[in-house]
Amino acid sequence: MITLGDGATRIPVRSLWFLLIYASELLAQLRTKDREAILAGERDNDLLDAIAEVLVGEVEIRLRRQMTLHYRTREADLTRVRGRIDHLGTATRRLSEQGRIACRFDELSLDSPRNRFIAATLLFAAPRVSRPDLAHCCRRTAFRMHRLGVSPREPSRAQLSTDRLGHHDVADRRMLDAAHLLREMAVPAHFAGPRGMPKLREDAPAHRKLFEAAVRGFFRHALRGLGWQVGARQLNWLGPQDAPAPFLPIMKTDIVLDDARSGRRIVIETKFTDGLIDRDGRTTVKSGYLYQLYAYLASQTGRDEGAYDNAEGVLLFVKTAGRDAFDAEATIQGHRIRFLSVDLSQRPAQIRARWMQCLDPPRPVLG
């Protein structure tokens, strides 16, 4: 378990891995079999192993088809000119007397920052996966890369930041996405360890963005092929026929779900914190969050767009320590607004089921 925020949110490390998978681009890059296994919850108990399997499989494919070569700059004393001559080095070391010339040239090589990062990530994953056979595969694949000329020295962040994927590097994308996700799944903690890492635990904005991206990624994959459109939108306070007012801010929604068949629109606002407050002996929704969601809905009505005239809102926030699960709704000026807490200490299947409740139809009114 790790504690986030002001000590009120305690969740398992496994749940951060779960969020990272949905927030990353890896799911979109996975082959159908791997993606469906993760989406169906078949790999909830070994998420790290699942991503490591993807990485090993993709590296094996690249090894069979030839890994991407990169140019690297080399300096060598040669018997013939290659590239550019280093006149100072040639004269200083009196190489001409030995029939040699100091040259600086570019050559194609497998020993690139990208390939060194992949090999290092395989060795990084080996002691962390639960299955001995998978750990062996990680080490074996990394050693195969080393025998082909990839250096075991891990690249620095500066070296890796210069690596850019071109149109001819599409085959490397799944491999790199899996490798980056494996590294991100190593969630840092505040005690001494063998590796220095960024302080993700204390980065509240990063947690908010991670939770938002994970929920959006979940709906994008869970609703695929069902007629829903999933995305984030920018909203304006004024209509297209109104005079421009550049001093008004633009509203940015976290997630908007649109069902073209039913004309249903759901605006979801995510909060990686407690959405409730105890005041005057009762528990209420934090007013600022309610105002924000209401503004998204009310500001867009009356614009001849039926979906927004009847849009629904959902405030999806994290259940914190000492709170019971919260599920309530209210209709405010024709807009149905739901308030849902999600317990990230539960199993991934339960978290997914809770997220899907955002799509529940209105509850019947009891007479």
Per residue in 271-329, pLDDT tens? 988 889 998 889 999 999 999 999 999 988 877 677 788 899 999 999 887 888 999 99
> Could you tell me how far CA 240 lies from the centroid of its own chain?
35
Span 326-346, pLDDT tens digits? 999 999 998 999 999 999 888
Interval 240-258: pLDDT, tens: 677 768 888 889 999 999 9
Mean pLDDT confidence for 117-128: 91
**C-alpha dihedral, 168 to 169 to 170 to 176, nearest 10°:** 180
Q: Rounded CA gap, 119 and 95, in Å? A: 38
Whole-prediction pTM? 0.68
Please give the angle made by the CA atoms of 55, 60 and 64, to the nearest 5 degrees.
Answer: 150
The residue that leads in pLDDT, 152 or 243, is 152
| CA–CA distance, 230 with 217 (Å, rounded to integer) | 9
User: Is pLDDT above 90 for 30?
Assistant: no
Beta strands 327-332 and 335-342: pairing type? antiparallel
**Nearest Cα to 80, choosing from 47, 102, 112?**
102
- Token pair, residue 239, equals 């209509």
Other CB atoms within 10 Å distance of the CB of residue 54: 24
What is the assigned CATH class of domain 204-359? alpha beta
Across the range 184-189, mean pLDDT stands at 56
| Domain boundaries, given as residue ranges, for the chain | 8-67+113-202, 70-109, 204-359
Percent of the chain with pLDDT over 90: 26
Distance CA 283, CA 279 (A): 6
Token pair listed for 16: 């951060």
Alpha-carbon span 315 to 358, nearest angstrom:
9
Is the CB of residue 107 less than 8 Å from the CB of residue 74?
yes
Q: Is the pLDDT of residue 122 over 80?
A: yes
State the average pLDDT over residues 113-122: 90
- Summarize the confidence of residues 106-134 as an average pLDDT: 87
Residues in the chain: 367
Which residues make Cβ contacts (< 8 Å) with residue 336, sequence separation at least 6?
312, 313, 329, 330, 362
Instruction: Give the per-residue pLDDT at 120.
Output: 92
Distance CA 47, CA 59 (A): 19
Task: Provide the percentage of residues in the chain whose pLDDT is more than 70.
Answer: 83
Neighbours of 132 (CB within 10 A): 9
One-letter amino acid of 143: F
Q: Which residues of 247-268 are buried (b: 16+ CB within 10 A; e: fewer)?
A: eeeeeebbbbbbbeeeebbbbb
pLDDT confidence bin for 43, thresholds 50/70/90: low
